[in-house]
Amino acid sequence: MKKDICDRTFTFSIRIVKLCQFLDDKPGVARTLAQQLLRSGTSIGANVEEAQAAQSKADFIGKMMIALKES
C-alpha cells in the first residue's frame, strides 16, 4: 500500500532527527553538518504540510514545487 506524501515526509523527518542526534554526539565537522541537515531535512515536510492548506490548485503546485526542489 502506497503511503501518503505527508506520512512519507514525516517519517523522513523523524529519520533525519535521529541521524542528527547521532551526529551531534560526534566532535567537529559532524556536529556542524548535523545542524544544517536538521534544518534542511525537516523543512521538506513543513513545506508539504503547508501545501496541503493551499488556497488554490496553482498555490498547491507552487508550494509542492518548493518542497520537491529541497529534496
Total domains in the chain come to: 1
Residue 22 sits in a domain whose CATH number is 1.20.1440.60
Render each residue's pLDDT in the chain as its tens digit; 71 residues. Answer: 457 888 999 999 999 999 999 998 888 888 889 999 999 999 988 888 888 888 999 988 888 888 877 66
The cell 542528527 sits on which residue? Answer: 20
Query: What is the structure's pLDDT at 37?
Result: 93
Cell output for 34: 548535523
Q: What's the maximum distance between 2 C-alpha atoms anywhere in the chain?
A: 46
Give the domain range for residue 36: 5-70
41: burial class by Cβ within 10 Å (0-12, 13-18, 19+)? buried
Query: What is the structure's pLDDT at 70?
Result: 66
Q: What ranges make up the beta strands (E) of 1-71?
A: none
